[in-house]
Structure 1
């Protein structure tokens, strides 16, 4: 079986592990008929769950792990647990047994282990965390979402390259537009780091996709397909957006529970509200990807259910199947040639 169809799974990470994890694999197995899962965790707890799934019959290999990295554990402690389900799953990617790994476990530990074990791709200074979010025009990719508080112009250029390729794979966009998140859209706005990154991108092989600077409101408006920023700003923007969506949901519930007429109005609006709920369902956007590592690493939200975890699995398998890392290497090579030589700027990279 090819590496592109194999995925390593940390079955013990997350608030509802291992039940939600195995139930998520059951859903993913139906949607991904070629997938095979290396499942890492407590065999005594996992075997009955796996055996109960007909869809997973013949589609997994269970590997017992004696240790678990808990949600509240410090990353430095997790690094020392060599037989944890998270560590063993990442090791499987390093060994070439799987093309990627999915975990709903401790975020700090997953980031630290992935960077130490897998290391970054040649030419990538810092990995970035990317995920999708809803907008008025469809889904939008955002990165970095928390990995890099310290950054420079080169990092932002790398994030832009990785983000556009991620959007091609996950959103199916042939030529996604992207912008640098700034305090204004005018060219003179922002600090020297942002302006330097913008200048480099205007002379890069993806210059034709570069919209320029975008502001916070452009994220929800869908002005661009990919929003590029540093980890501090990106994480604040992400959490703000999540809070706003939760507020909208709470307000709608209050409105339609306001009395008999309001409840009657809900009956008439039920179909539209159902579609709205489906569009804004956070499970559709579950699965943040650590871009720029020697292997695909997907972080599922720790509190997600089976459907949400299945979506994270779908994202990971798409990244592996489309050979994401090779496409990053090609894009970096084209970028370096454009910067170091006088060859004309093109937008031919697919």
Structure 2
């Protein structure tokens, strides 16, 4: 396996190096061909490493490179202010490392708007792509995964934008999920042709005319996890609301299934109802680990960029790094560019 280098913004997220550094070491131990460039406050990074190196093989040091950054983009910083004052920040320098060829991908749990804006400016969209989009895996109730985009990069989208998201999503699903002719659906408020914004109805017409796409029509929010589509397309506003609603509901349901509720009356009742309603899927639901689905990828760019949740724990951030490594090794951006020619 070829060696790979990723650039990490280790200052991003709610906790920063206390999460990102142990996650980095965890992935390095599991992946002997991976090297990491750590961008952030060298004193904080070294402090964490000094503690953690006692638990890991000494040779991991050889695959870590610290790049000191005195400045950080704050999570609550406005989009325009973050971009205007991004010079010398851990996020910008991590992205620039990819642009200069020092790394093949970037991972950050920092300010989402700033990451998308900087990545688009520094790394540039693929030829023919008007707007990059955030895409993420979704678990399906009966097993397997689907993908959904856009999840917040573009709040308002034209029919052409949605059509391009569908193309990129289909190519991503083919390569990330190993699917052939993935089913593509548009998120809408109903399945009837007359429903939804004009941009969604117009996008549906564009998708239906493209015989290279396996377009299956509209999908409603209550069927996102039911395996009715492999690629779910929406504008960034609806997609972000849908995803966070799913995440919140899933987290609460899983907490109840695993007995973490403080309501002692609700807990056994809920477990009984779930077992009765979902006999075949109950154990699978109980075993789902939300950390496995941490991170969304900004696709449509010339290189891999993965956005981790700001609240990610060590395992979740480690999974975001692994996902970036997988995409870089599979050369997903190049495959998307090559795949666009067949659609």
TM-score, length of structure 2 as denominator length: 0.86
CA shift, 1:255, in A, is: 7.1
**1: CA distance, partners of 2:96 / 2:261:** 50
Asked if residue 142 in structure 1 is aligned to residue 148 in structure 2, the reply is yes
Aligned with 1:84 (options 63, 84, 89): 89
Q: Which residue of 1 aligns with 2:49?
A: 50
Go from structure 1 to structure 2 and tell me whether the alpha carbon gap of 1:282 and 1:158 turns closer, same or farther (over 3 Å shift): same
Asked if residue 106 in structure 1 is aligned to residue 111 in structure 2, the reply is yes
Asked if residue 232 in structure 1 is aligned to residue 237 in structure 2, the reply is yes
**1: CA distance, partners of 2:261 / 2:245:** 22
Q: Which residue of 1 aligns with 2:303?
A: 295
**1: CA distance, partners of 2:261 / 2:24:** 37
Are 1:205 and 1:334, in contact at CA under 8 Å, matched by a contact in 2?
A: no
Q: Which residue of 1 aligns with 2:66?
A: 62
**2: CA distance, partners of 1:316 / 1:146:** 19
Q: Which residue of 2 aligns with 1:124?
A: 129
CA shift, 1:278, in A, is: 3.1
Q: In structure 1, the residue corresponding to 2:37 is in which secondary structure?
A: strand
Are 1:21 and 1:306, in contact at CA under 8 Å, matched by a contact in 2?
A: yes
Residues 230-253 of structure 1 show CA distances to partners (whole Å, capped at 9, x for unaligned) of 111111111221222234245554
Q: Which residue of 1 aligns with 2:78?
A: 74
CA shift, 1:69, in A, is: 1.6
**2: CA distance, partners of 1:71 / 1:200:** 38
Aligned with 1:192 (options 194, 198, 201): 198
TM-score, length of structure 1 as denominator length: 0.85
Residues 86-125 of structure 1 show CA distances to partners (whole Å, capped at 9, x for unaligned) of 1100011111111110001111221221122222111000
Residues 308-341 of structure 1 show CA distances to partners (whole Å, capped at 9, x for unaligned) of 0011011111111111121121222223xxxxxx
**1: CA distance, partners of 2:253 / 2:101:** 44
CA shift, 1:164, in A, is: 1.7
**2: CA distance, partners of 1:163 / 1:120:** 15
**2: CA distance, partners of 1:83 / 1:177:** 43
Q: Which residue of 1 aligns with 2:32?
A: 33
**1: CA distance, partners of 2:108 / 2:340:** 28
Superposed, 1:317-336 pairs within 5 Å as 317-335=325-343
Q: Which residue of 1 aligns with 2:278?
A: none
Are 2:254 and 2:285, in contact at CA under 8 Å, matched by a contact in 1?
A: no
Asked if residue 276 in structure 1 is aligned to residue 285 in structure 2, the reply is yes
In the comparison of the two structures, how many residue pairs are matched? 327
Structure 1: gaps spanning 5 or more residues: 336-350
Structure 2: gaps spanning 5 or more residues: 276-280
Q: In structure 2, the residue corresponding to 1:90 is in which secondary structure?
A: helix
Moved over 6 A (4+): none
**2: CA distance, partners of 1:255 / 1:7:** 39
Q: In structure 1, the residue corresponding to 2:185 is in which secondary structure?
A: strand
**1: CA distance, partners of 2:194 / 2:283:** 44
Are 1:43 and 1:65, in contact at CA under 8 Å, matched by a contact in 2?
A: yes
**2: CA distance, partners of 1:177 / 1:239:** 23
**2: CA distance, partners of 1:108 / 1:189:** 30
**2: CA distance, partners of 1:313 / 1:126:** 24
CA root-mean-square deviation: 2.7
Are 2:39 and 2:94, in contact at CA under 8 Å, matched by a contact in 1?
A: yes
**1: CA distance, partners of 2:208 / 2:282:** 42
